[in-house]
Amino acid sequence: MILEDYLYYIILPVISLAILLVFVRFIKGPTISDRIIAVDLLVTIGIGVIAVYSILTNHSTFLDIALILGLIAFLGTVAYSSYLQKRKKK
């Protein structure tokens, strides 16, 4: 098997299953924290999908997009953590 076969038959189905499970957690999450973590995980999985697509198409510019998306997701997580910390002090 070559790399493309692994990507098509193993990695993409696993990523699809992960998206489905995280989306269920996003819908059923009892607290807002669960939903925020699910959104962060969805963005992380999206970065994985972009990386796989970049490998399949041999375009490295998609990796730059994934990097920017990762930075934005990180900043969102930090902002939410800061909000929770300030909320608990009151």
pLDDT digits (tens, 9 = 90+) for 73-89: 999 989 988 888 888 77
**Per-residue b or e along 2-14, where b marks 16 or more CB atoms closer than 10 Å to that residue's CB:** eeeeeeeeebbee
Please give the Cα distance from 76 to 61 (Å, whole number): 23
Name residue, tokens 């909320």. 87
Q: Which is higher by pLDDT, 88 or 37?
A: 37
pLDDT, residue 47, reads 96
pLDDT, residue 90, reads 64
User: Whole domain around residue 36: which residue ranges?
Assistant: 3-89
Overall domain count for the chain: 1
Q: How far is CA 83 from CA 32, 39, 65, 67, in A?
A: 12, 16, 27, 24
Mean pLDDT estimate for the chain = 91
Asked if the model's pLDDT at residue 14 lies above 90, the reply is yes
Asked if the model's pLDDT at residue 62 lies above 90, the reply is yes
Q: Which is higher by pLDDT, 1 or 64?
A: 64
Please give the Cα distance from 27 to 7 (Å, whole number): 28
Mean pLDDT over residues 2-18, rounded? Answer: 89
pLDDT digits (tens, 9 = 90+) for 48-60: 999 999 988 999 9
